[in-house]
Every structure is written in C-alpha cells, then in structure tokens.
C-alpha cells in the first residue's frame, strides 16, 4: 500500500434530545427482546428511534437478504431527518452490502453519526473511504451489553456521553491498561476489529494506517489466527508508518493474545498500550475513528484532540 498519512475525517454533529436515529441490522439476525430493550434505552435519552423495515428478518446467518439489509442502511444514511445510524449487532455480512449502496447519495448527504463495532468495522472503513466521515466504534443496540437483560451501565453511559457531550469523553482509559512499549504519539485514530481489517485488504475500502493511531481488538480468534491476520496486514503494508497502537479486549482469544499481537508488532518501534476497555469485552468504551488523538502509553490514555462530534 502507498500514499500519504491518513487525515482527520469530517465529524458529524453531536446529538440533542429530539433527534431522530435509525437502528439497522446490516449483519447477523437479531433477538427481538434485546432490540426492544436497546431501542428503549435510546428513547430514554430523548431520541426518536426508527427501526429498519427489515431488521427482524432472518436469512440463515444474516438479518434478512442482502437487498433488504442494504435498503435499510441506504435509507438511514440518506434520510435527511436521521442524525445517527446505530447498528443493532455484528456477526457477519456487512461487507456484502458495500457494492449495493449508492455512495454518491451518501456523499451528498449531511454527515451523520455511525455507531457500531465488530462487523461494522467495514462500514466505518467504507464511510471513511467513500464519504470522508468519522464514526464511533461503540456498543450496538441489540447486543447483550447494551440491550440485554442487565445492560452494562458504564458502556451505556459512555456512549450517551460521547453522543451528547463528546467533550466530556475525550480521554479514554481504564484501570487495567498496560504499557507494552512506552512513549507518546499523535495521529488519526484508525482500525477496529482485526479480522475485518485483514479481510478487507485488496478492497476499495481498505485504507493504510500510515500516520495513524491504530486501535485493534477481536473475539474468539486463536493466537495462530491472530498471528496470521497481523501477518496479512503487515505484508500488505497496512501498518507502514503507523505512530502508535492501542489494543482493546481479546475475548475468547486465549491468555496470550496480547503477547501474540505485541510480539508480531514490536518491530514497528511505536508506543503500544494494551487492555484499553473497548471491543467485545465489558465494559465497552466508545472509540472515535477518524479523529486526531494522542496515545500516551506511559499514562495509559488515548486522548482525542477535539470532541468526536462537532
């Protein structure tokens, strides 16, 4: 991969009570009760919530067929009354929608917030590549941690703060953060779920992380798989010129997942911070993508240079 360093993306405006948000299911099938509870939380913040017409459909391991899922996403991204698009859950299938979307229409639309993690990594990359819009790598409406019977309070509150009062959520940290390689670095946040980033190499949406602060996490990937995914990105040049790395949770990836990652990336010679609480673990902090930030591995912090939303 070649090209200059990544640059900061357009920040959508923050939410205010009364804003309309759309919950869509671009990936796996949903549990109706979790979706209802998640929608209830969003509504308790004073938001008007509309759910995608096809959100509760099912087609094998997907939330309905590609055309229906793409239609819901397209409608949400281009409806001028919608201020945020919240993914309902991950799984797989989001990448299948990218060639079905009208990116010219998305570019013409006013930027709006995209919230999601895991499989939504490819949507964040697509929004960055095709529309130049920053996003939030954060909890999704119909997941256990947000819409389950006992939602995690810290996860829910951090997303609310990031959406409504982003200046109060600029510093990300956690009690268990670990300095792997010390130092301080500045750059634009980029990344997401490792397996999705590696799987996107060779597509129009794959952006090299040059000049960026890389945020990485994953779930249920064995160490040998993590090694292979990182090797794919390294050989493709994705990591060339990165300035720092922040690692999130590695749920179900084995006790030595972080050691596997850091051993594979140590030759980069950049600051590395581990166990920042974002990704598939609990709690799940909301991480802005496409925003200028400073990684301080010694202090255990990732600090946005400006609020994630305007």
Count CB atoms within 10 A of the CB of residue 35.
21
Burial 258-292 (b: 16+ CB within 10 A, else e): bebbbebbeebebbbbbbbbbbbbebbbbbbbbbb
Q: Rounded to a whole number, what is the distance in angstroms from the first to the last CA of the chain? A: 31
Residue of 118, 200, 206, 249 with catalytic role: 118
d(CA 144, CA 142) in angstroms, rounded, equals 7
From residue 256, how far is each of 205, 223, 224 by CA, in Å? Answer: 31, 7, 11
Verify whether residue 217 is a known catalytic residue: yes
Q: How long a stretch of residues is the chain?
A: 310
Q: Are 247 and 261 in contact (CB under 8 A)?
A: yes
Torsion of CA 128, 129, 132, 135, to 10 degrees: -10
Our answer to whether residue 67 is catalytic in this structure is no
What the block records as the tokens of 111 is 């930027």
If phi > 0 it is left, if psi is from -120 to 50 it is alpha, else beta; for residue 253 that is alpha
3-state helix, strand, coil in the chain (%, to 5): 35, 25, 45
31 is catalytic: no
- Residues noted as catalytic: 118, 217, 280
């Amino acid at each position: 991969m070649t090209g200059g360093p990544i640059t900061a993306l357009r920040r959508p405006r923050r939410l205010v009570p009364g804003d309309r948000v759309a919950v869509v299911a671009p990936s796996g099938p949903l549990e109706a009760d979790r979706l209802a509870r998640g929608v209830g939380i969003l509504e308790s913040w004073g938001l008007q919530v509309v759910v995608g017409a096809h959100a509760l459909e099912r087609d094998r391991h997907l939330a309905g067929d590609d055309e229906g899922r793409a239609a819901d996403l397209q409608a949400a991204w281009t409806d001028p009354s919608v201020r945020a698009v919240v993914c309902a859950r991950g799984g797989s299938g989001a990448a299948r929608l990218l060639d079905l979307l009208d990116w010219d229409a998305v570019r013409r639309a006013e930027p709006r917030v995209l919230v999601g993690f895991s499989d939504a990594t490819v949507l964040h990359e697509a929004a960055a590549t095709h529309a130049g819009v920053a996003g939030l790598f954060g909890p999704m409406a119909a997941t256990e941690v947000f819409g389950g019977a006992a939602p995690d309070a810290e996860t829910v509150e951090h997303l609310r703060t990031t959406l409504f009062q982003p200046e109060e959520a600029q510093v990300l940290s956690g009690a268990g953060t670990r300095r792997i390689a010390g130092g301080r670095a500045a750059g634009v946040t980029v990344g997401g779920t490792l397996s999705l980033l590696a799987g996107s190499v060779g597509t129009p949406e794959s952006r090299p992380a040059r000049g960026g602060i890389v945020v990485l996490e994953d779930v249920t990937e064995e160490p040998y798989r993590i090694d292979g995914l990182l090797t794919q990105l390294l050989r493709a040049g994705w990591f060339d010129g990165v300035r720092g790395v922040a690692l999130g949770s590695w749920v179900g990836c084995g006790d030595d997942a972080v050691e596997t990652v850091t051993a594979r990336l140590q030759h980069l010679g950049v600051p590395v911070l581990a166990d920042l609480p974002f990704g598939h673990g609990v709690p799940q902090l909301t991480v802005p993508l496409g925003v200028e930030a400073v990684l301080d591995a010694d202090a255990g912090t990732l600090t946005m240079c400006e609020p994630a939303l305007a």
